[in-house]
Amino acid sequence: MLSEQENDFLTRVGPGTPAGTLLRRYWHPVAAAGEITEDRPLKAVKLLGESLVLFRDQGGRYGLVGEKCPHRMASLAYGRVEADGIRCPYHGWKFDAAGNCLEQPAEPEGSTYKDRVRHKAYPVEKLAGLLFAYLGPEPVPLLPRWDVLVREDGRRWLEIQSIIECNWLQIMENSVDPAHLYWLHGRTAHLGRQVDHYEEKHEFIRFDYGIMKRRITPASRTGEEPTIDQHPLVFPTILRHVFRGDTGGAWHNMQIRVPLDDAHTQVYVVYFEPSTGGRTGGAVDAPYEYVSLKTADGQYRMDYVFAQDSMAWETQGPITDRSQEHLGVEDEGILLLRRLVKEQIEIALGGADPLGIVRDPGKNHRIDFDVINERIGVGSRAQKVA
C-alpha cells in the first residue's frame, strides 16, 4: 500500500512535480511525422501536463512551442506556419522553433521589445517516423537509437492507439506483472496459446536501461526444455517485445507509453519485421495507422490483446488508489518498479542523470537488445527471445 502523498510522488507528471521532473529528462514521441504535412503543418498536442503546438516551418524545421501566445494568450494552434516560424492568429507575433520572437507587427519601427520576449520552446527530433520532444534541462541528452527504431534489414510501421484514460504508472506496472498473461489474455496472447494451466516462474533483473522481465514456463511434455520469454521494461515508459507467429516468423515492437497528463496516456507502438532477404534500407518515415481500443458504443475490444490491457488499466481509475490495494508475492516486479521510480526521481531532483540517459555518441549507433539479452543470460538458449 502507498499513502496518498507517496502515490502522488510517483504518478503526477506536471511541471514541478517529482515524477514530472524525472520524466522530463527523457525524450518522448509527440506525433507521427506523417501527421505533420504541407497541408497540415501544425498540431495541438499535450505532453507531461503541458499544452503545446507542434509545427514544421516551410524550411522543414520542426518546432514545439507553448500553445498560448505570450502576448495576449491566444492559441497558436490556430496560427499560421511560415518560412521561419509560426505566427499568432490574434496580433501576428511570430516565433521560430527556438522560441525567439521574430516579429511584433504593431510595435513601433525600430523597437527592440521582441528581443526581450522568449516563448516556451522545446527541441524536436525525427526518428523512425516519429517526432520526439525533450522537455527537460540542458544539456540535452541524445535521443536513444533503440534497435527497433533504426534497424534497416526489414519493414517498420507504426500504430497510434486511442488515448488511454489513466495514469502512466499503472500502464508501466503492467509491464512487470507477468502473472496477468494467462488470466487476462488467455489464448489470444502469443504464449497463452501454449499454456494449459498457470505454473509460470518469474524473474526480474535490473540492468542499465531498466528492468528485464523473464518468464519461465515449464515444458508441456517430458524431455522438452522450458520456454523462456525475456523482454525488458525500458525505463521509464517503454516495453520492448518480440512476437513469434505460428509459422515461425518474428516481429518486434516497442510500446512507448507517453504521459499526456496525470490521467491520460498515448501509446505509440513501433513494429519491425526483419526481412529474410537482408538489408532493405528500412523506412525513413514509417507508415502509421490509428487503432481504436473500443467499439463504436464504447465497449472494450476484448478479442484484442492491447484492448484487454487497456480495460485492466482504465478500470483501476484515472490514478490507481494504491492505499486500497493488497499486493502479494506475485507482485514482486511491481514493487521493484516503484522502488526504481522513487530512486530515480530522487536522482533527477538532485540534478543528476537518471537511469538510461544516453550522452556518448559512441554508444548510440544502435542499442541492440539481442546483445543485451545475451549479456543478461538468456540469448540463444531462449525459445521466445529475439
pLDDT of 283-334, one tens digit each?
557 899 999 999 999 999 999 999 999 999 999 999 999 999 999 998 999 9
Dihedral sign of CA atoms 178, 184, 189, 193 in order: positive
What pLDDT band is residue 185 in, cutting at 50, 70 and 90? confident
Which single residue is written with the C-alpha cell 481504436?
A: 292
What pLDDT band is residue 383 in, cutting at 50, 70 and 90? very low
pLDDT over threshold 90, residue 220: no
Strand partners of residue 21: none
pLDDT over threshold 60, residue 105: yes
**Rounded Cα–Cα distance for residues 122 and 114 (Å):** 19
- What percentage of residues in the chain have a pLDDT greater than 70? 89
pLDDT over threshold 90, residue 376: no
* pLDDT for 189: 53
**Rounded Cα–Cα distance for residues 30 and 125 (Å):** 10
Structural domains in the chain? 27-134 (2.102.10.10), 147-381 (3.90.380)
3-state secondary structure of 169: helix
pTM exceeds cut of 0.85 = yes
Phi, psi angle pair for 66, to nearest 5°: -60, 140
* pLDDT for 280: 55
Least confident of 170-179, 241-250, 257-266, 358-367: 241-250
pLDDT over threshold 70, residue 232: yes
pLDDT tens by residue, 24-64: 999 999 999 999 999 999 999 999 999 999 999 999 999 99
